[in-house]
A and B are shown apart, each in its own frame.
Chain A
Amino acid sequence: MTSSSFLLPLLGGALLGLSASLLLLANGRVAGISGVVGSLLAPVRGDIAWRVLFFAGLLTGGLLLAWLRPGSFAAPGPLSASGVSLLVVAGLLVGFGSRLGNGCTSGHGVCGISRGSVRSIAATLTFMATGVLTVFLARHVF
């Protein structure tokens, strides 16, 4: 194990914590991505601009990464028909589940656990468990 194997994840994680802290300090908002962006699908007047700007920040950060650190992303490759249907099902589940469960990895896993929320701890343990189970079934059973 080289030091860089956990230093970059740790540094990246610290940036996520800083980002969530900045949003709370400046805007009084919780940095849960599914909530911040998902609420744009049912926009409420006066509650739109900061969400759009946060989203724009995400996209700009993504552009910077694609430019300076292209290895951050999966290499674009051709998609098979089964690959497409798998991604559609995965996307539907991630979107539906995060809204039904009021949060995703950021809202529950980072912000919620940081404040010791029992709901967030329960949600995080649940999605970790079904995620591990899904990968287990996909890689070692089927």
Chain B
Amino acid sequence: MRPLLSAFLSGLLFALGLGISGMTDPANVLGFLDIAGDWDFRLMFVMGGAIAVHAALRPFILERERPLFAAKFPSFPVSRVDSKLLVGAALFGVGWGLGGYCPGPVLTALSSGAPQVLVFVPAMFAGMFLAQLLQTRRSERAGTPLPDTMPSRPPESVGAAP
């Protein structure tokens, strides 16, 4: 029960942070990306604030032997930049610049019922599904087991929550 409550609270905090910071309004995001126009730099502070807090708290959290309600912390694989990462990020950025929405804010904005969100979200899930399908196909064809492509879900911690 407790890991479910903490996940819920984390999602709730995340949504409030996005709303208060201005990320849930695509006009702000597009204004931030429009450096050649009347540049709205405010969203720099969102990323700055988030990184400052998380980078400060992270070392204290990882001093623990294990998370409060799970068996182990995720393993962070050694950083290696590959073309899949860069192509994915590049396509993501184009979509972000076209719509002004990225996954967190647009899912938070579902509650507003705005028609643009109701169009964007199903398309986004379709895109996610396509990418996952492609990666499964590729690893099947290569005859190798699916690599650990999702850093948020290392295989050894699957089902770890007690």
Q: Which A residues contact B (CB, under 8 angstroms)?
A: 5-6, 8-39, 41-42, 44-47, 49-51, 53-66, 69-79, 83-84, 86-111, 113-115, 117-120, 122-124, 126-136, 138-140
Contact = CB atoms under 8 A, between A and B. Distances in A.
A27 B162 CA distance: 10
29 contacts: A17-B50, A23-B10, A28-B160, A29-B70, A30-B151, A32-B151, A49-B4, A50-B7, A55-B11, A57-B9, A58-B12, A58-B14, A58-B15, A61-B108, A62-B111, A66-B112, A73-B25, A88-B120, A95-B123, A98-B102, A100-B135, A101-B88, A104-B92, A107-B151, A118-B81, A134-B98, A135-B97, A140-B36, A140-B37
B50 A20 contact: yes
A24 B93 contact: no
B8 A54 contact: yes
Chain B interface SS verdict (over half): helix
Nearest to A15: B17
Given A16-B17, A108-B89, A132-B97, A21 B119 contact: no
Contact of A62 (B19, B68, B87): B19
B22 A58 contact: no
A20 B158 contact: no
Interface of B: 2-27, 30, 33-37, 42-55, 57-58, 61-62, 64, 66-74, 76, 79-81, 84-99, 101-104, 106-116, 119-132, 134-136, 149-153, 157-161
Contacts of A62: 15, 19, 24, 107-112
A28 B161 CA distance: 9
B111 A35 contact: no
A130 B114 CA distance: 26
Given A33-B103, A117-B76, A25 B67 contact: yes
Nearest to B80: A119
Contacts of A61: 11-16, 18-19, 108
Contact of A12 (B49, B92, B128): B49
A12 B131 contact: no
What are the 8 closest A-B residue pairs judged by CB atoms, nearest first? A57-B11, A101-B88, A61-B15, A12-B21, A95-B127, A13-B49, A17-B53, A91-B123
A121 B100 CA distance: 21
Given A74-B114, A90-B95, A99 B88 contact: yes
A93 B91 contact: yes
B89 A97 contact: yes
Contact of A13 (B47, B64, B152): B47
A136 to B, nearest CB: 5
